[in-house]
Structure 1
């Protein structure tokens, strides 16, 4: 190298020291001669350098020299500070995962070990999935994921007991979800959720026949995307878990007047007791009449057309064409014939005035834990 060239590079190097970060990589690049490359660097076309902290270049290049020839790390090497090192010299090198980026963690293929990197310090520990979770592989990563109808981080998983659990831990979107009440003896089942409320009855067009027998009302019928009765067995197992409030939304024709009826507790018993309405709390609502349309039914077992459990002497579910917690017979009957009359339709009856409200177009019965 000539004296003039040496002086030129000397002046340029001192300029870099005074005006920018001084490190081995910057020095090696600017010296720009094959003979001057530091240990582990090669003279070649420079593109992009990655670091021990960001081995995959997710946050950009350590230095981008736009295709110029310079002293750079060869393929497979990473920048550590200003030095070019083998990956096994990085602080968060692992023989399975190679180099773990700073601030991230990796889980092995069997979900038995997790390793994390923080400030270039590698920490590994044992890891195992809950019995209610599965080890899954997604996007080059392994992790424990709770099974359907459970929620949690995969290491610990809890039952999805109701739609409030869905809203708090799974999704705030309205729709159909799997539910698994704590003591439910069978597989998880589908429910329709909205803002923490679980629908167990929905009627709006008469497309589903509600004149059903005991087994149908026990197991449920219809479609969760249309009209349905969820099933007394499901409602029993859900309502016994904690205190639930009941809300009934009604739409009256012909003026499309919307009202709601609400009670601050609701629970039905098991099939062995004929799904008796075991608990009914205080009433509130928006209906102009202060009459409690369910109190008349409190403590009553459920009656269907093929199982008479009321005290009327006649089967109220047959007489009024609707299964319900009949006494003798009803103050409310929301499973009657759609667009039926006062004697067989979807009706409310103020027994203190012997007055019926049967022009009901839509009914929604739903439960939510008392907040």
Structure 2
């Protein structure tokens, strides 16, 4: 065979770790049996260099390499690259370029096709809609479908290490709007999302349905967070509520209930759950937090939306407030400047010292924690 024309000899040797050694000679010829198949001619070394070609770890030599190679950053590109008739060391099958090295696919991390990005091993990726988070583990992505870019409430902010009473941004589960600001109270174990505060009467609380739906006031002073936000918050998990009060004589009290929930607007933001009472804001021998419990299962009313249980009065108008009125009377959103002893004033039934003219109130919620 080698005596019919001039032949080139190429010798390729692959090491156990994937490196390839290549030697090439330009005039290979073997004599016949009469001469005992003597290596008659070898010729000159030829190829792209005058030294032995040593391919790096996990690479093999090809004399017709593809025009591009798959990389960790683009594993779906160039799967069927075009031969460009060039000699080169290329990644072995199942390996991908990572920098100047060829590595197995699992060392690339995880390729996320929707975002066309590579998640490094142990790293994470959040989709553009900020609705799920993927973590790369052993080359596989595990998705958290309930992820949100912002914390869901002040408790998550507290758990992340923030311990200052301040304004933060949250986005509860299922909230379709933008993340919104809330005031976080970090006392009493931390993580309370405040939804109502009265301090000095600078904010007008005798407002209509849309104002109470969307919220009003200043988060660092007097405000109502908004019934849409409150409903969304209290329906993402079980929440407890704490109501801090200072009576007209300056004495502080509090009430807590361990299962507080507000329904959505289709049910007029009904106070649907309250749970068990504890605290100091009910002086009776068998306290149950009557100051709020009285309104359980009632819908919210404002001056332009009468949803109370009274047979004849429009309680929000008659008592100058907005609340889950039943048969009118007491309400923490009443007229702060009402005369002493007035039912129209901020009022909490069975509060020690005086029910009327409450000087300070703050209502806040936190995920219930079983002790």
Structure 1 residues 123-138: aligned runs within 5 Å: 124-126=108-110
8 Å Cα contact 1:213/1:306 also seen in 2: yes
Does the alignment pair 1:263 with 2:239?
A: no
Deviations 1:202-231 (A, max 9, x none): 111111110100000000001112211000
- SS at structure 1 position matched to 2:252: strand
Does the alignment pair 1:247 with 2:242?
A: yes
Structure 1 residues 124-273: aligned runs within 5 Å: 124-126=108-110, 158-159=147-148, 160-169=151-160, 171-194=162-185, 195-254=190-249, 256-273=250-267
State the 1:144 CA deviation.
5.7
State the 1:343 CA deviation.
2.1
8 Å Cα contact 2:205/2:334 also seen in 1: yes
Structure richer in helix, relative to its length: 1
- SS at structure 2 position matched to 1:218: helix
Deviations 1:139-193 (A, max 9, x none): xxx9867999989798767222221112113633322222112111222111111
User: Matched residues in 1 for 2:279 and 2:349: separation?
Assistant: 16
- SS at structure 1 position matched to 2:193: strand
Structure 1 residues 4-15: aligned runs within 5 Å: none
Distance 1:288 1:303, change over 3 A: closer
TM-score normalised to the size of structure 2?
A: 0.58
Does the alignment pair 1:362 with 2:360?
A: yes
Structure 2: stretches of 5+ with no match in the other structure: 1-55, 57-71, 74-95, 99-106, 137-142
8 Å Cα contact 1:129/1:144 also seen in 2: no
Partner residue, 1:345:
345
Equivalenced residue count is 253
Partner residue, 2:60:
none
TM-score normalised to the size of structure 1?
A: 0.58
Q: Which has the larger radius of gyration?
A: 2
- SS at structure 2 position matched to 1:199: strand
User: Matched residues in 1 for 2:112 and 2:161: separation?
Assistant: 22
- SS at structure 2 position matched to 1:249: strand
User: Matched residues in 1 for 2:267 and 2:321: separation?
Assistant: 20
Partner residue, 2:8:
none
8 Å Cα contact 2:198/2:362 also seen in 1: yes
Partner residue, 1:70:
none
Runs of 4+ in structure 1 deviating by more than 3 angstroms, as ranges, are: 126-131, 142-157
8 Å Cα contact 1:181/1:238 also seen in 2: yes
Partner residue, 1:318:
317
User: Matched residues in 2 for 1:129 and 1:170: separation?
Assistant: 34
User: Matched residues in 2 for 1:368 and 1:223: separation?
Assistant: 21
Instruction: Give me the CA root mean square deviation.
Output: 3.9
8 Å Cα contact 2:215/2:224 also seen in 1: yes
- SS at structure 2 position matched to 1:349: coil
Structure 1: stretches of 5+ with no match in the other structure: 1-88, 90-106, 116-122, 136-141
Distance 1:163 1:316, change over 3 A: same
State the 1:286 CA deviation.
1.6
Distance 1:151 1:202, change over 3 A: farther
8 Å Cα contact 1:200/1:230 also seen in 2: yes
8 Å Cα contact 2:215/2:225 also seen in 1: yes
